[in-house]
Amino acid sequence: MDKFVMIIFGASGDLTKRKLMPALYTLYNAGRLPDDFFIVGIGRTDYTDSRYREYILNELHKNASVGQPERKPEDFCSHLHYLSLDPAEAGSYGLLDACLRKLTGEEKPENLLYYLATPPSLYGIIPLHLKAARLNRPHTRIIVEKPFGYDLESAQELNHIYASVFEESQIYRIDHFLGKETAQNILAFRFANGIFEPLWNRNYIDYVEITAVENLGIEQRGGFYDGTGALRDMVQNHLIQLVALTAMEPPAIFNADNFRNEVVKVYDSLAPLTREDLNEHIVRGQYTASAVKPGYREEKNVAPDSRTETYIAMKIGINNWRWKDVPFYIRTGKQMPTKVTEIVVHFRETPHQMFRCEGGHCPRANKLILRLQPNEGIVLKFGMKVPGPGFDVQQVMMDFSYDKLGILSVGDAYARLIEDCILGDSTLFTRSDAVEASWRFFDPVLRYWKENQNAPLYGYPAGTWGPLESETMMREHGAEWTNPCKNLTNTDEYCEL
């Protein structure tokens, strides 16, 4: 691998210290970075190189798995440099250019990787300043964090800006969910096994639910979150990506273009939301105070009359031959009983049930659970006869989790995606047409909420599974949410409703 320079805008921020630096150290420790590399942090905080290295070293011991490393974190930090400047000021980029030339010894260094770990307000500014300083060279790449736009119009405007500065092949819109092994394993599970894909359609699947919830609040991010909300923060990017992985057709050839083509096809097939859907098939909520936790409106920098959703559940349809009339239920929320991200595929019940419900164990429909976190793995629930007289059938579980393999590490999602970007593999990054197709579907929801200030916003006590109205929405189809238990440690711990 040729030497390269990674430039992190927002280098003194939370994302850099908690995710990016530990991921880069993971790559360094595994010998997956070249010996000749530089990481240049850019931020407004006034650090020198030595003080920044000391700061990151301290954070690595907090946030990275240092243990007994092959390579010391101190050696990694020796590759770090810091440039104190305001990325919103066009005149500052001459300092960046001079810094890069000095580090590389090249007049026009080209193997550059920019990472925007900044507030979204800078996403459209930094690329234009890079272009004005002629730092958008042919072999440069740029990684952009979510949210990529706040609605369809702003996303289109951002895409226009980036297209004026970089080629699409240079732009890497990151979604760390796709860096998780189980997210990628959905594809292998479906397309590498002949026994599952023939069943993966409306003839055998009753409904699909996708959950991504946290047992934390907004964690001092009130100023950001109150202008964002759960739909922009999680649904338009993370959850709809998981819908695409679950619903997509098999690519003819597995490469970046063909894979991302199939993702866009799913987005284009999403059933347009009707007035009935906006009224009845979208449930938004906001956590309220419980005995031990404050309510959302009591959080720092949150308006006391805020109508920002911290929970949203939706029923989504896909208009194609494979999925017609199969509902996809998606939900995300803050201050839930546990932290979990998983896809649950509910198969149809057998057309004729010949076994009696002896002992209170009635045979139920098969259920496949694909868990992204915690304890990444897969669970299949199916009926088996209980030993003894009669034919009492009880549901049992066949489960696989990566941690039980012992010799294999699940790995870090950010490390995987950053390495992909370094290698020029854009498969797991979002393309511009996918961004716009996703926003085209969700934009009517934002408009509806804006135009109907009295649209329901249900309260739910912190530490519960959200508004009861989301359960009612599910019952229309005879469905129910799959709620993992608190303090989830194993793939077989589930709480029945």
**Annotated binding-site ranges for NADP(+):** 10-17, 44, 146
Q: How is residue 278 written in tokens?
A: 């906006």
> What is the amino acid identity at position 150?
Y
Burial of 360 (0-12, 13-18, 19+ CB in 10 A): exposed
Q: How is residue 454 written in tokens?
A: 């009295």
If you write DSSP's letter for every residue of 166-181 in order, what string do you get? S-GGGEEE--GGGGSH
Dihedral over alpha carbons 179, 185, 188, 193 (to 10 degrees)? 180
Return the sign of the alpha-carbon dihedral for residues 35, 37, 38, 39.
negative
Whether omega for the bond prior to residue 127 falls within 30 degrees of 0, making it cis, is no
> Treating both helix axes as pointing N-terminal to C-terminal, what angle do 240-247 and 256-269 enclose, rounded to 10 degrees?
100
Q: How is residue 63 written in tokens?
A: 């946030």
Of residues 188, 231, 185, 187, the one with CA closest to residue 212: 231
Q: How is residue 82 written in tokens?
A: 């810091």
- Clarify whether 61 is annotated catalytic: no
Please calculate the CA angle 259-261-267 and round it to the nearest 5 degrees. Answer: 110
DSSP β-bridge partners for residue 287: 460
Q: Say whether 460 sits in a helix, a strand or coil.
A: strand
Please calculate the CA angle 83-88-92 and round it to the nearest 5 degrees. Answer: 45
Binding residues: 10-17, 44, 146, 176, 180, 214, 233, 334, 339
- What phi and psi, each to the nearest 5 degrees, are found at residue 38? -135, 145
Q: Say whether 141 sits in a helix, a strand or coil.
A: strand
DSSP β-bridge partners for residue 116: 9, 144
| Cα–Cα dist 122/161, whole Å | 12
Q: How is residue 76 written in tokens?
A: 């990694």
Please calculate the CA angle 205-210-212 and round it to the nearest 5 degrees. Answer: 165
From 238, 346, 352, 361, active-site residue: 238
Active site residues: 238
